[in-house]
Amino acid sequence: MAASWSLSGALKSMFARDTIDADTWSDLEDALISADFGPDITDSVIEELRASVAKYKTDDPTDLKRMLRETLEERLARLDPTLTLSARPAVVLVVGVNGVGKTTTIGKFAKFLVGHGRTVVVGAADTFRAAAVEQLATWAERGGASIVRPQQQGQDPASVAFQTVERAQRDSIDIAIIDTAGRLQTKSGLMDELGKIRRVVEKQTEIAEVLLVLDATTGQNGVAQAEAFIQHAGVTGLVITKLDGSAKAGFVLAVQERTGIPIKLVGQGEGINDLTGFTPHVFVQNLVG
Ligand code: GDP
Protein backbone atom coordinates (compact mmCIF):
# COMPACT_ATOMS: atom_id res chain seq x y z
CA MET A 1 0.00 0.00 0.00
CA ALA A 2 1.17 3.54 -0.59
CA ALA A 3 2.79 5.12 2.42
CA SER A 4 1.15 8.54 2.05
CA TRP A 5 -1.40 7.75 4.72
CA SER A 6 0.96 5.94 7.02
CA LEU A 7 1.09 6.94 10.67
CA SER A 8 4.64 5.77 10.89
CA GLY A 9 6.14 9.15 9.97
CA ALA A 10 4.35 10.86 12.84
CA LEU A 11 5.10 8.01 15.21
CA LYS A 12 8.74 7.51 14.34
CA SER A 13 10.20 10.10 16.69
CA MET A 14 7.80 9.05 19.38
CA PHE A 15 8.79 5.39 19.25
CA ALA A 16 12.46 6.35 19.00
CA ARG A 17 12.42 7.91 22.48
CA ASP A 18 13.95 6.07 25.42
CA THR A 19 10.82 5.84 27.46
CA ILE A 20 7.06 6.24 27.44
CA ASP A 21 6.21 9.61 28.99
CA ALA A 22 3.45 12.24 28.92
CA ASP A 23 4.66 13.54 25.53
CA THR A 24 4.34 10.05 24.09
CA TRP A 25 0.64 9.94 24.90
CA SER A 26 -0.10 13.41 23.58
CA ASP A 27 1.89 12.76 20.36
CA LEU A 28 0.02 9.51 19.89
CA GLU A 29 -3.29 11.27 20.41
CA ASP A 30 -2.34 13.93 17.82
CA ALA A 31 -1.28 11.29 15.32
CA LEU A 32 -4.54 9.36 15.67
CA ILE A 33 -6.69 12.48 15.46
CA SER A 34 -4.84 13.74 12.36
CA ALA A 35 -5.33 10.35 10.75
CA ASP A 36 -9.08 10.79 11.28
CA PHE A 37 -9.75 8.06 13.79
CA GLY A 38 -12.20 10.52 15.39
CA PRO A 39 -12.12 11.61 19.06
CA ASP A 40 -14.07 8.67 20.51
CA ILE A 41 -12.01 5.94 18.89
CA THR A 42 -8.78 7.83 19.62
CA ASP A 43 -9.75 8.01 23.32
CA SER A 44 -10.69 4.37 23.50
CA VAL A 45 -7.52 3.21 21.71
CA ILE A 46 -5.38 5.28 24.07
CA GLU A 47 -7.27 3.99 27.08
CA GLU A 48 -6.69 0.39 25.96
CA LEU A 49 -2.99 1.09 25.43
CA ARG A 50 -2.58 2.77 28.82
CA ALA A 51 -4.17 -0.29 30.41
CA SER A 52 -1.81 -2.65 28.53
CA VAL A 53 1.23 -0.58 29.39
CA ALA A 54 0.20 -0.64 33.08
CA LYS A 55 -0.57 -4.36 32.99
CA TYR A 56 2.78 -5.30 31.48
CA LYS A 57 4.63 -2.67 33.54
CA THR A 58 6.62 -1.48 30.55
CA ASP A 59 8.01 1.94 29.70
CA ASP A 60 9.55 0.79 26.41
CA PRO A 61 8.11 2.61 23.33
CA THR A 62 8.79 -0.50 21.22
CA ASP A 63 6.29 -2.41 23.36
CA LEU A 64 3.81 0.41 22.90
CA LYS A 65 4.20 0.21 19.13
CA ARG A 66 3.51 -3.52 19.18
CA MET A 67 0.49 -2.96 21.42
CA LEU A 68 -0.84 -0.28 19.07
CA ARG A 69 -0.54 -2.70 16.16
CA GLU A 70 -2.27 -5.46 18.13
CA THR A 71 -5.09 -3.22 19.35
CA LEU A 72 -5.88 -1.82 15.91
CA GLU A 73 -5.65 -5.19 14.25
CA GLU A 74 -7.85 -6.88 16.85
CA ARG A 75 -10.50 -4.17 16.50
CA LEU A 76 -10.43 -4.24 12.69
CA ALA A 77 -10.66 -8.02 12.66
CA ARG A 78 -13.86 -8.13 14.73
CA LEU A 79 -15.96 -8.18 11.55
CA ASP A 80 -15.62 -10.73 8.78
CA PRO A 81 -14.39 -9.22 5.48
CA THR A 82 -15.25 -12.27 3.37
CA LEU A 83 -17.34 -11.66 0.25
CA THR A 84 -20.20 -14.12 -0.16
CA LEU A 85 -20.22 -14.93 -3.86
CA SER A 86 -21.01 -18.62 -4.01
CA ALA A 87 -24.57 -18.31 -5.41
CA ARG A 88 -24.91 -18.66 -9.16
CA PRO A 89 -25.38 -16.06 -10.27
CA ALA A 90 -24.14 -14.05 -7.30
CA VAL A 91 -25.82 -10.68 -7.56
CA VAL A 92 -23.85 -7.72 -6.22
CA LEU A 93 -25.48 -4.29 -5.94
CA VAL A 94 -23.03 -1.41 -5.79
CA VAL A 95 -24.33 1.76 -4.12
CA GLY A 96 -22.85 5.10 -3.11
CA VAL A 97 -22.79 8.80 -3.85
CA ASN A 98 -21.48 10.06 -7.22
CA GLY A 99 -17.77 10.72 -7.31
CA VAL A 100 -16.75 8.22 -4.63
CA GLY A 101 -15.31 5.85 -7.22
CA LYS A 102 -18.20 3.50 -7.89
CA THR A 103 -17.64 3.05 -11.63
CA THR A 104 -13.91 2.58 -11.23
CA THR A 105 -14.47 0.10 -8.40
CA ILE A 106 -16.85 -1.97 -10.53
CA GLY A 107 -14.25 -2.20 -13.31
CA LYS A 108 -11.53 -3.18 -10.86
CA PHE A 109 -13.78 -5.68 -9.11
CA ALA A 110 -14.75 -7.27 -12.43
CA LYS A 111 -11.06 -7.57 -13.33
CA PHE A 112 -10.30 -9.11 -9.95
CA LEU A 113 -13.09 -11.69 -10.35
CA VAL A 114 -12.25 -12.48 -13.97
CA GLY A 115 -8.63 -12.94 -12.85
CA HIS A 116 -9.94 -15.59 -10.44
CA GLY A 117 -11.68 -17.44 -13.26
CA ARG A 118 -15.20 -16.08 -12.73
CA THR A 119 -17.44 -14.67 -15.47
CA VAL A 120 -19.02 -11.28 -14.86
CA VAL A 121 -21.82 -9.17 -16.30
CA VAL A 122 -22.24 -5.55 -15.27
CA GLY A 123 -25.65 -3.85 -15.26
CA ALA A 124 -25.82 -0.09 -15.91
CA ALA A 125 -28.76 0.75 -13.67
CA ASP A 126 -27.73 4.39 -13.39
CA THR A 127 -29.83 5.09 -16.44
CA PHE A 128 -30.18 8.84 -16.13
CA ARG A 129 -26.71 9.92 -17.27
CA ALA A 130 -25.71 8.63 -20.70
CA ALA A 131 -22.09 9.54 -19.97
CA ALA A 132 -22.18 7.38 -16.83
CA VAL A 133 -23.33 4.39 -18.88
CA GLU A 134 -20.48 4.90 -21.37
CA GLN A 135 -17.93 5.28 -18.60
CA LEU A 136 -19.17 2.08 -16.99
CA ALA A 137 -19.04 0.27 -20.35
CA THR A 138 -15.39 1.29 -20.76
CA TRP A 139 -14.50 0.01 -17.29
CA ALA A 140 -16.51 -3.21 -17.74
CA GLU A 141 -14.62 -3.89 -20.96
CA ARG A 142 -11.27 -3.24 -19.28
CA GLY A 143 -12.29 -5.62 -16.53
CA GLY A 144 -13.26 -8.34 -18.99
CA ALA A 145 -16.99 -8.21 -18.20
CA SER A 146 -20.00 -7.95 -20.49
CA ILE A 147 -22.54 -5.19 -19.91
CA VAL A 148 -26.30 -4.75 -19.94
CA ARG A 149 -27.19 -1.19 -20.91
CA PRO A 150 -30.49 0.64 -20.68
CA GLN A 151 -32.38 0.59 -23.96
CA GLN A 152 -33.12 4.26 -23.58
CA GLN A 153 -31.92 7.04 -21.35
CA GLY A 154 -33.92 7.21 -18.14
CA GLN A 155 -35.23 3.65 -18.43
CA ASP A 156 -36.47 2.30 -15.09
CA PRO A 157 -33.25 1.28 -13.24
CA ALA A 158 -35.04 -1.73 -11.74
CA SER A 159 -35.77 -3.07 -15.23
CA VAL A 160 -32.07 -2.85 -16.16
CA ALA A 161 -31.22 -4.69 -12.94
CA PHE A 162 -33.82 -7.32 -13.84
CA GLN A 163 -32.37 -7.76 -17.33
CA THR A 164 -28.85 -8.04 -15.92
CA VAL A 165 -29.83 -10.88 -13.60
CA GLU A 166 -31.82 -12.50 -16.40
CA ARG A 167 -28.74 -12.35 -18.67
CA ALA A 168 -26.56 -13.90 -15.96
CA GLN A 169 -29.10 -16.72 -15.46
CA ARG A 170 -29.55 -17.33 -19.18
CA ASP A 171 -25.83 -17.32 -20.04
CA SER A 172 -24.66 -19.03 -16.82
CA ILE A 173 -22.56 -16.02 -15.82
CA ASP A 174 -21.14 -16.34 -12.32
CA ILE A 175 -21.53 -12.80 -11.04
CA ALA A 176 -23.86 -9.91 -11.88
CA ILE A 177 -22.61 -6.55 -10.62
CA ILE A 178 -25.27 -3.85 -10.74
CA ASP A 179 -24.27 -0.20 -10.75
CA THR A 180 -26.80 2.20 -9.25
CA ALA A 181 -27.35 5.94 -9.29
CA GLY A 182 -25.74 8.18 -6.69
CA ARG A 183 -27.52 11.51 -6.89
CA LEU A 184 -27.85 12.43 -3.26
CA GLN A 185 -29.72 15.68 -4.03
CA THR A 186 -32.82 13.56 -4.30
CA LYS A 187 -32.09 11.37 -1.33
CA SER A 188 -35.58 9.94 -0.81
CA GLY A 189 -35.96 9.38 -4.56
CA LEU A 190 -32.62 7.59 -4.63
CA MET A 191 -33.47 5.39 -1.66
CA ASP A 192 -36.85 4.52 -3.21
CA GLU A 193 -35.07 3.61 -6.44
CA LEU A 194 -32.63 1.34 -4.57
CA GLY A 195 -35.54 -0.25 -2.71
CA LYS A 196 -37.31 -1.00 -5.97
CA ILE A 197 -34.17 -2.53 -7.51
CA ARG A 198 -33.81 -4.76 -4.47
CA ARG A 199 -37.42 -5.88 -4.55
CA VAL A 200 -37.31 -6.70 -8.26
CA VAL A 201 -34.02 -8.62 -8.05
CA GLU A 202 -35.09 -10.49 -4.93
CA LYS A 203 -37.99 -11.94 -6.90
CA GLN A 204 -35.44 -13.45 -9.30
CA THR A 205 -32.78 -14.59 -6.86
CA GLU A 206 -31.18 -13.76 -3.51
CA ILE A 207 -28.91 -10.72 -3.46
CA ALA A 208 -25.41 -11.89 -2.51
CA GLU A 209 -23.88 -8.56 -1.52
CA VAL A 210 -24.84 -4.88 -1.35
CA LEU A 211 -21.54 -3.00 -1.39
CA LEU A 212 -21.46 0.63 -0.30
CA VAL A 213 -18.55 2.58 -1.80
CA LEU A 214 -17.10 5.33 0.42
CA ASP A 215 -14.30 7.76 -0.34
CA ALA A 216 -11.66 7.78 2.42
CA THR A 217 -10.82 11.41 1.72
CA THR A 218 -14.28 12.52 2.89
CA GLY A 219 -13.34 11.33 6.37
CA GLN A 220 -16.00 11.45 9.05
CA ASN A 221 -18.59 12.88 6.62
CA GLY A 222 -18.49 9.54 4.92
CA VAL A 223 -19.90 7.95 8.05
CA ALA A 224 -23.01 10.14 7.87
CA GLN A 225 -23.33 9.28 4.17
CA ALA A 226 -23.07 5.60 5.04
CA GLU A 227 -25.90 5.75 7.53
CA ALA A 228 -28.58 6.70 4.98
CA PHE A 229 -27.58 3.83 2.70
CA ILE A 230 -27.35 1.37 5.57
CA GLN A 231 -30.86 2.26 6.70
CA HIS A 232 -32.39 1.87 3.26
CA ALA A 233 -30.24 -0.30 1.05
CA GLY A 234 -29.42 -3.34 3.20
CA VAL A 235 -25.65 -2.84 2.91
CA THR A 236 -23.59 -6.00 3.56
CA GLY A 237 -20.10 -4.64 2.98
CA LEU A 238 -18.09 -1.45 2.56
CA VAL A 239 -15.58 -0.58 -0.13
CA ILE A 240 -13.18 2.18 0.90
CA THR A 241 -11.66 4.00 -2.09
CA LYS A 242 -8.85 6.52 -2.48
CA LEU A 243 -6.84 5.22 0.45
CA ASP A 244 -3.71 5.81 -1.62
CA GLY A 245 -4.14 9.56 -1.55
CA SER A 246 -5.53 9.93 1.92
CA ALA A 247 -3.85 10.87 5.15
CA LYS A 248 -7.12 9.79 6.73
CA ALA A 249 -6.64 6.06 7.07
CA GLY A 250 -8.17 6.12 10.55
CA PHE A 251 -11.48 6.49 8.76
CA VAL A 252 -11.26 2.78 8.07
CA LEU A 253 -11.61 1.81 11.73
CA ALA A 254 -14.04 4.66 12.46
CA VAL A 255 -16.44 3.74 9.68
CA GLN A 256 -16.36 0.04 10.44
CA GLU A 257 -16.95 0.47 14.17
CA ARG A 258 -19.62 3.13 13.78
CA THR A 259 -21.61 1.29 11.13
CA GLY A 260 -20.99 -2.28 12.28
CA ILE A 261 -20.58 -3.27 8.60
CA PRO A 262 -17.36 -5.00 7.50
CA ILE A 263 -14.97 -3.45 5.02
CA LYS A 264 -14.65 -5.99 2.21
CA LEU A 265 -12.60 -4.20 -0.44
CA VAL A 266 -10.09 -1.37 -0.52
CA GLY A 267 -9.25 0.87 -3.50
CA GLN A 268 -5.77 2.27 -3.63
CA GLY A 269 -5.35 3.96 -6.96
CA GLU A 270 -6.92 4.80 -10.28
CA GLY A 271 -5.61 1.76 -12.15
CA ILE A 272 -7.60 -1.39 -12.94
CA ASN A 273 -5.50 -3.49 -10.56
CA ASP A 274 -5.72 -1.11 -7.61
CA LEU A 275 -8.37 -2.97 -5.61
CA THR A 276 -7.68 -5.57 -2.95
CA GLY A 277 -9.53 -7.47 -0.28
CA PHE A 278 -9.30 -6.05 3.21
CA THR A 279 -6.66 -7.67 5.41
CA PRO A 280 -6.42 -6.01 8.84
CA HIS A 281 -2.89 -7.33 9.44
CA VAL A 282 -1.50 -5.86 6.21
CA PHE A 283 -3.42 -2.64 6.70
CA VAL A 284 -2.11 -2.09 10.23
CA GLN A 285 1.42 -3.06 9.26
CA ASN A 286 1.35 -0.31 6.63
CA LEU A 287 -0.29 2.15 8.95
CA VAL A 288 1.91 1.77 12.01
CA GLY A 289 5.05 0.43 10.38
P1 GDP B 1 -18.36 7.46 -9.46
O2 GDP B 1 -18.97 8.78 -9.81
O3 GDP B 1 -18.65 7.09 -8.05
O4 GDP B 1 -18.69 6.38 -10.42
O5 GDP B 1 -16.77 7.71 -9.46
P6 GDP B 1 -15.66 7.30 -10.54
O7 GDP B 1 -15.46 5.84 -10.56
O8 GDP B 1 -15.95 7.99 -11.81
O9 GDP B 1 -14.38 7.94 -9.84
C10 GDP B 1 -14.27 9.32 -9.53
C11 GDP B 1 -12.78 9.69 -9.51
O12 GDP B 1 -12.13 9.03 -8.44
C13 GDP B 1 -12.05 9.28 -10.79
O14 GDP B 1 -11.15 10.31 -11.13
C15 GDP B 1 -11.29 8.02 -10.35
O16 GDP B 1 -10.11 7.82 -11.10
C17 GDP B 1 -10.99 8.34 -8.92
N18 GDP B 1 -10.78 7.13 -8.09
C19 GDP B 1 -11.60 6.07 -7.92
N20 GDP B 1 -11.07 5.17 -7.07
C21 GDP B 1 -9.87 5.66 -6.68
C22 GDP B 1 -8.83 5.20 -5.78
O23 GDP B 1 -8.90 4.14 -5.14
N24 GDP B 1 -7.74 6.02 -5.67
C25 GDP B 1 -7.64 7.20 -6.34
N26 GDP B 1 -6.53 7.92 -6.15
N27 GDP B 1 -8.58 7.65 -7.16
C28 GDP B 1 -9.69 6.91 -7.34
Q: What is the ipTM of this complex?
A: 0.99
Shortest-distance Cα residue to atom 5 of ligand 1 = 101
The domain in which residue 250 lies consists of: 90-280
* 30-41 confidence digits (pLDDT tens): 999 988 899 999
Backbone torsions φ then ψ of 50, nearest 5 degrees:
-60, -40
Task: Say what angle helices 22-34 and 39-55 make with each other, to 10 degrees.
Answer: 150
148 and 171 belong to one structural domain? yes
In a domain, 285, yes or no: no
The pocket around ligand 1, CB under 6 angstroms, is made up of 98-104, 182, 241-242, 244-245, 267-270, 274
pLDDT of 118 higher than 80: yes
Give distance in angstroms: CA of 104 to centre of ligand 1.
Answer: 6
46 and 119 belong to one structural domain? no
In a domain, 56, yes or no: yes
Give which of 240, 230, 238, 231 is closest to 267, Cα–Cα.
240
149 and 203 belong to one structural domain? yes
Residue 246: pLDDT band (50, 70, 90) is confident
Instruction: Examine the fold and report which residue of 17, 49, 76 is the final residue of a domain before the chain moves on.
Output: 76
In a domain, 1, yes or no: no
- Over the chain, what is the mean pLDDT? 92
* 170-212 confidence digits (pLDDT tens): 999 999 999 998 877 666 788 899 999 999 999 999 999 999 9
Q: What is the pLDDT of residue 4?
A: 55
In a domain, 286, yes or no: no
Q: Domain of 255: which CATH number?
A: 3.40.50.300
Q: Strands across the sheet with 90-95, in order?
A: 146-148, 120-124, 175-179, 90-95, 207-215, 237-241, 263-267, 275-277
Give distance in angstroms: CA of 179 to centre of ligand 1.
Answer: 14
In a domain, 263, yes or no: yes
Q: What is the pLDDT of residue 3?
A: 46
In a domain, 83, yes or no: no
Which ligand 1 atom lies nearest to the CA of residue 136?
A: 4
In a domain, 85, yes or no: no
Give distance in angstroms: CA of 273 to centre of ligand 1.
Answer: 13
Give distance in angstroms: CA of 203 to centre of ligand 1.
Answer: 32
Q: How many structural domains comprise the chain?
A: 2
